[in-house]
Structure 1
């Protein structure tokens, strides 16, 4: 304030200029926010396209990821174990599986993947 009086500057002109600069800054912030929201939406859509859908139906054949078995560690040993038969699908990602002997157990659907092997029928694979 004292500098404005000392230099004989116009207070109303300086205040209006400062107000215009603050408004421009707010507009720039808003544009940056909107563009970041659009970018995030596009990236989410792009990433969601590449996610494999994990929907299983009863009588599907699946492989189970075995992360706990460490008896024979080695590079060439598969971590996916024998095909199991899906008997029931529960909500929230729980799947009931049946093994060769007919025992049933529940697993999270993130630990299984579809069996793409060539089988003549589902019963032949389960009996093997």
Structure 2
């Protein structure tokens, strides 16, 4: 049986509140981040986000080194799960989730930069061709 474990953490990252979703399966670890706004999120907003907008949340898969750490997890006693849940309510965000989100952000930034460089090269080539054609037209002697 394939089980999926999800965790939601609300973090205040000045000036905004963010929801960090972590999703674990047997062989993968995925993270998503949603900005909730500048005011403290209320319970109806969070439940609406989880129930109605879950399908629109875009998850990013973590690297292979975090997958190997997940493979070491075993079945946990229910009382221990309750203690861990209570502990995570008070502790800060998982650094693994933050690292995965940062890596996804860097990757998207790099692709944007690459497409920007390509676009600049195309524009520069067009300007060069226009200058060249004007120069040729000028020397024709009309």
Larger Rg over CA atoms: 1
TM-score tier (shorter): 0.3 to 0.5
State the TM-score, normalizing by the size of structure 1. 0.36
Would you tell me which structure has more helix in proportion to its own residues? 2
TM-score, with structure 2 as normaliser? 0.33
